[in-house]
Each structure stands twice: as C-alpha cells, then as structure tokens.
Structure 1
C-alpha cells in the first residue's frame, strides 16, 4: 500500500480525502454489487441512436470541411466552419470507442459504415483501436506497462503533460506517412507489416507500446482496413494533383485533425487520475477511483467529451454499457446508492479542474523527487 501523496497537501475535490498515488485501499469498501443492481436495465444498445448520431455528426463535420475549403482564407466563415468541422468529426471519430466495445459479430454494418465515412478518410480505421482499448479495461492490464492508454502523468514530470498536447501538431503528418509510405511497403514485406502492426498501428498515448500480433481471424480484416485507408489517401491526393480537388482541402483536413487531437488530448488528460506510478495491477474498484467523471453541462461538456466520455469513470465501472445510458446511470447511482461518497470521489467539477489537479499533483511529485534526490 502506498502512502498518500504530499501534493501541496492536495485533497480530492469530492471527498476532501488526501490524494493517493497508485493503489486505493479504500476501494475495498466500494458498493459494487449495489451499483450493478441499480443499472441492470441500462445495458441494451439502441441501434437507432448509434446510426442517427454518427451519421449526423459525420455529415455535419464533412459539410463544414467543404465550407471551410471553399471559404476565403482566414474569413469568419472559414473559422466558424473549422470549429464546426472539428466538433462534428471529433464526435464521429469517437464512435471508434463504442465500436471497440461491441460484442464480436454485432454492429458489423455500423463498423463498415464508420470506416467508410469517417475512420478511413480520417486515417483511423476501426482496428487501430479495438483490441488496444479492450486491453485497457482488463484488470491485469489497466495502468500497467502493458496498457497503451495509460501514462502516470500525476507522478511524473509536468512537462510531459504539455508535450502530450503539443505532439498533436505532428499526428496528421504521421498518419499521412503511415498510409501513403509505410502501408504499401507492408504489402510486399511481411516482416515489415508485422513490425508496423506492432509499433505504428494503435491509437495510444504511450509511444513505447508494442501491440500484440493479430489473431488468425483478424489478419485479413486488419490488412483490408489498411489497404482501403491507403486507397482513400491516394485517391484524395491524386484528385488534388489533377486539380479536381483543391490542395486547400488537405490543409483544412490537417488543421481539423490537429484540433481534434488537441481536444481529445485534453479530454484524455481529464479521463484518469494517472497516479499509478508503480504500474501495479488494480481491482475494478481501484480502476474506477483512478478514473474521472465530469458530468458538467450535458450540452457544452459533450462537445469536448462526446459519446458519453464525460462519464469516463462510470464507463470503467461498466465498460459494456452503451454510451447513451451512461448519463442516466451516473445520476441514478448518485441519487440511489445508500452511500455514494466513494462513487462521487471520481467526480470532478470541470475539464479544467481535472487537468489543473493533474498538473498540481505532477508538480508536487517532482518536488518530492527533488527532495529525495
């Protein structure tokens, strides 16, 4: 059991308890059975919601991309269109998270539709996230060195928080490189294909992450998604080269992609407490307490944490629950749990409050490390 951090004597916003680094001994008292009973009716996904929400988000996003491309540079119209394109396509892209949680063999048409109208043109086909994210929810993986979606920001150097956001500037370029240069080489060099799948085919935050090789029944799917994503890139670039599409479209895509990754980066920083510096295994209750809910405003907060992700701690408590049920689950548990103190310990008042707390803890951890040295 680790001692509480001496983070400027930081206390949890909900409980007033000292902030902890790593494991949470108090998690053993979490009323998990009672929580499961209260939400047992909220597990069925509604296909109509998925199809309608995604289709509208993608259509709005791509429509705004077209407007931004045709508008005069730096005009108010272009700026507004870039904002709308970013928010629309960001919401559409985040459906990749829901796809990762679909049971095998379900929503297959939705996955293909997602790839065709968002995943592939944004160069993030569904396979780049599926298994990686499911591993993130496994008790034996969450928060450990094998978890590509976890870095112990709260007990590390603060500059790494800044670097995590700044790296979004180069992500679009890396995606273009991945599918226009590396992808063709993977088709003719099997060993290189395996290397790229392990080291350059995952939507993660830990660049040292090495992805397990695909299972036999996944190889063809991964390969096809790679090929078709590359085709999207080559066709678009070819049409630009021939003058059918303006090169300005590439610039708009690049800017929108940067903005999406910056926005998602801020959301990611607020999604967990990131205190597991020892990279110990955690129980499900400890995993919940190392995650964050930010109910905020259902309309404004949903812009930076779309598709249910403002209830990220509750999602980690019930990872198979569809996104459209998470808000109802959160407020039901808050109201009906006999003792909701531990449940609310994962709640933060806002995005900025969550990121600020992470920053304070990282600074305090650095001071402690300097004193120890």
Structure 2
C-alpha cells in the first residue's frame, strides 16, 4: 500500500488576508525552528528515570497505601511525559537522531508497548493539508457532531487498550511472523496510535524502517516480564501496576486529545491552513499544571499545527511572541482556551446543541 490518494477536491485557496496573516506569523517565529538535542535528552531521561523509579516504588509499597497512590500518580505523570516524546520522534523523522529514537524505544516505548513506529508515519498524515480532518486522517473524528455519551465511550476505551496491546505483543505479533495475512491485518488495523477505529494504515515515506525490531523488542519485554512473574521472581503486582499506569496515561492523553481540536468537520473536504488552525486549540493555561496533562509542548497544539516543524521547547515562546507581536492577534487568539475544563465544556456544549437539533 502507499499513502492514501489525495481527495479530488483540493483545499480552498486562502484569501489574501489569511495569506498575509500567516506570512506575518512565520516571519515573527522564523528563528525558533532549531531543536536543542541536549534538552531533548535531559528532559526525556529525567522523566523516564523518575517515572520508572516511582513505578518500582508503587509495586513494593503497601497496597492501597497513600504512599503507593502518590508513587503511582508520579509514575503516570512522568512516564506520560516520556511517552509523548513519540510525537517529537514523528516530526523528526526516522533518520534524524537515531540514537535518541533507539533510547526512547529501549527505555520507554518497548516496556510500555507503544513503539515509536506506531506513531511515526501515521501522525504525519494528520499534518498533510489535503488529509487533515478527512476520512484518511486517523487522528480525527467529528466529536463536535457526536453525542456526549459517544464521546465519553470513546474516551473510556482507554481502560481496555492496555489488555489489547499486551495480547498484541505477546500473541499476535509472534503469530504474524508465521501468518502473512495476520501480519497485513496487524499493520493496517492494529499498528497505529489513532482515534478513528475505521482507519486503515497505509505505508508511507515516514514509516520507521526499524519497526520489525521494535515489535520483537516489545514482545521480549512483555514475555520476559510475564515469565518472571510466572516463576515467582517478580510479584504479579507488577502487571497490575503496569496496567494501571498505562490506563492512567491513556485516559489523561484522551482528555488532552478531546480538546486538541474543535472536531467540527465531517471529513468531506480538505481545509485551508487557516481553517485547520481555527479547528485546533491552544491552552496556555497554568505554566505548572497544564504541562502535566499536555506535556512536551502539546498545550500549544494550534500553534504546532501552524508550525509542525518547530521543536516542542519553542512552542510556548512562539505563542507568546505571536500573541504580542501580530499586528492583529485576533485571528490567532480565536484558537485559545483558558484551561482544560474550558475546552471540554465547549466541546460538550457543541455536542449537546447538535444532539438537541437532531431531536427536533
């Protein structure tokens, strides 16, 4: 397979005022596109070390004790930050900083069963202007046109996903080495971190060429851990804490995903860049609390969609510079929400209005 054929209808041309506004924005941030490798390494290794240390503490501390709860929460927040570096890997590309990609998969992606290839290649399609918000975008669903119960049900799926990825790593992946049709199905239907269950993954130039060893390593991590527990070397509590850890990460990221965009479009046509920006959301929020639920720059998601090549550590600077420096910042601030609750409230309000109209 190849990248999906682009829709017949091309994006509507931006009007002159939009083009001028976007050009001014690019000029203001043109010096913010250099990634600092040392910061990436320090941030990732610190988050990962804290996360796994807290995980071990949660395993060995008395069950249901306050200290175990604190350790578990710290593990979720720290390793959530580590996992989200997969977003940066997708934008760096599979051949940039191979050592960092290797370290991420060895220390985080493999043990968490969220290998980098499950995002690299898929996420890039989300940023194609011709594909964003269409049926070929696996990271988009028209939540604003769905009923609140459907939105909640989609978010709650995070509770069962850890069970599936464990079965995938320990059973389906090794079977796929022997059964080619299963390998094809796994690639197309069960190898992508997406939100659209109908998405069928293509092959693209952004795919990580090391995906086979990533699957093998995830199998090794999961199988070794289960064997150590089966033989009594590790307590079975390791599996329980890991399950709670991954569930917590998925539910937290699920909330972030629900307000990353407005999700107003049914996918019938491509959008202009300005439409894509106004369908995305920045949540500057509290500088200490907001990064806990939207780490690694993802609270500036609309700004990221304007400049997908900008490293995460410069997105906050870009947001503040554009807010103050644009000759007319009104168009830019239309995509801002004050906090997480404000974004969720807007989504649910839009959803309820839609449900009310459908019932008339």
Q: Same fold (TM over 0.5)?
A: yes
- Superimposed CA distance per residue, residues 204-258 of structure 1 (whole angstroms, 9 cap, x where no aligned partner): 011111000366x958522111111111100111111111111101100000111
Report if aligned partners of 1:172, 1:257 keep a CA contact under 8 Å in 2. Answer: yes
Aligned to 1:320: 309
Q: Name the CA distance, whole Å, in 1 between partners of 2:239 and 2:308.
A: 36
Q: Does 1:350 align with 2:339?
A: yes
Aligned to 1:258: 247
Report if aligned partners of 2:131, 2:137 keep a CA contact under 8 Å in 1. Answer: yes
Q: Does 1:48 align with 2:49?
A: no
TM-score by length of 1: 0.90
Report if aligned partners of 1:27, 1:285 keep a CA contact under 8 Å in 2. Answer: no
TM-score by length of 2: 0.93
In 2 relative to 1, CA 336–85 (structure 1 residues): closer, same or farther, beyond 3 Å?
Answer: same
Aligned to 1:273: 262
Aligned to 1:152: 142
Q: Name the CA distance, whole Å, in 1 between partners of 2:208 and 2:305.
A: 28
Aligned to 2:91: 101
What is the count of residue pairs matched by the alignment? 348
CA RMSD, Structure 1 to Structure 2 (Å): 1.7
Q: Name the CA distance, whole Å, in 1 between partners of 2:37 and 2:281.
A: 27
Q: Name the CA distance, whole Å, in 2 between partners of 1:26 and 1:361.
A: 26
Partner-residue secondary structure (3-state), 1:130? coil
- Report deviation, 1:26: 9.3
Q: Name the CA distance, whole Å, in 1 between partners of 2:262 and 2:12.
A: 12
Aligned to 2:202: 212
- Superimposed CA distance per residue, residues 99-135 of structure 1 (whole angstroms, 9 cap, x where no aligned partner): 0000452111100000000001000000000111000
Q: Name the CA distance, whole Å, in 1 between partners of 2:214 and 2:264.
A: 35
Aligned to 2:115: 125
Q: Name the CA distance, whole Å, in 2 between partners of 1:280 and 1:61.
A: 42
- Superimposed CA distance per residue, residues 118-154 of structure 1 (whole angstroms, 9 cap, x where no aligned partner): 0010000000001110000001110001111000000
Q: Which residue among 48, 54, 68 is the counterpart of 1:58?
A: 48
**Structure 1: unaligned runs, 5 residues or longer:** 1-22
Aligned to 1:140: 130
- Report deviation, 1:181: 1.0
Aligned to 2:5: none
Report if aligned partners of 1:139, 1:283 keep a CA contact under 8 Å in 2. Answer: yes
Bigger shift: residues 328-337 or 217-226: 217-226
Q: Which residue among 236, 259, 284 is the counterpart of 1:247?
A: 236
Report if aligned partners of 1:154, 1:273 keep a CA contact under 8 Å in 2. Answer: yes
Aligned to 1:16: none
In 2 relative to 1, CA 218–154 (structure 1 residues): closer, same or farther, beyond 3 Å?
Answer: closer
Q: Which residue among 283, 292, 296 is the counterpart of 1:303?
A: 292
Q: Which residue among 182, 198, 201 is the counterpart of 2:172?
A: 182
